[in-house]
Amino acid sequence: MLALIMMIDNEGDRCKAAELYRRFGRMMLSVARGILGDTGLSEDAVSEAFIKILENLDKIDLNDCYKTRGFVVVIVRNTAFNILKKQKRDKTVPIEDYIDYSECAEPVFEDVTIREACARITDAVAGLHKSYADILYLKCELEYSNGEVSKILGISPENVRVRLGRARQALRNQLRKEEAIP
């Protein structure tokens, strides 16, 4: 990874990339190993994922640990799944297993209704298929464009549009289903 970082021309970006890898390198390897089950393949996945992360380095805020950690996990997980698809294996690892929310500051909500609504939406998103949850996270939370999401997930922009529509519909259905339960 050091070779990748040293190839960055801008000193500030090089320092930012080194800090990013210092903070999240072990977690990235852990996520990849949990999916792939092989150290060598996991290291390959982390390298590929880190290249994708470096392509979006200007959009990463190291001070926002929740967003940065989530972004890194999504990239590594999707890269590992792409490697897994090539090997015709199927195993899923939930993103929740690798995000430690205790390190991040908890948002302060003055209004209890807003807090409850956010909790309902968060629970509903957690109940969605991981591909839907990932695309909603990248679009809604990190505010990436369809083109950027396309590059990150390695799918076509049209597939992003379709998957996003399906994810929104699945989220609506999940929230309606929860309302119907007394």
Question: For 13-49, what is each residue's pLDDT tens digit?
Answer: 888 888 888 999 999 999 999 888 888 889 999 999 9
pLDDT grade, residue 91 (50/70/90)? very low
Tell me the average pLDDT of the chain. 79
Does the pLDDT of residue 107 top 80, yes or no? no
- Sign of torsion, CA 103 72 117 128? negative
d(CA 134, CA 140): 10
What is the CATH code of the structural domain delimited by 1-104? 1.10.1740.10
Q: What is the mean pLDDT of residues 156-181?
A: 85
Q: Evaluate the CA torsion angle 127, 159, 136, 142 in order and state its sign.
A: positive
Residue 75, Cβ neighbours under 10 Å: how many?
A: 26
User: Tens digits of per-residue pLDDT, 75-88?
Assistant: 999 898 888 877 75
- pLDDT above 50 (res 101): no
Cite the residue boundaries of each domain of the chain with CATH code 1.10.10.10.
Answer: 107-182
Q: What is the DSSP letter of 98?
A: T
Q: How many CA atoms lie within 13 A of 40 on its CB side?
A: 0
Fold held by 107-182: Arc Repressor Mutant, subunit A (1.10.10)
Where in the chain do CATH 1.10.1740.10 domains reside?
A: 1-104
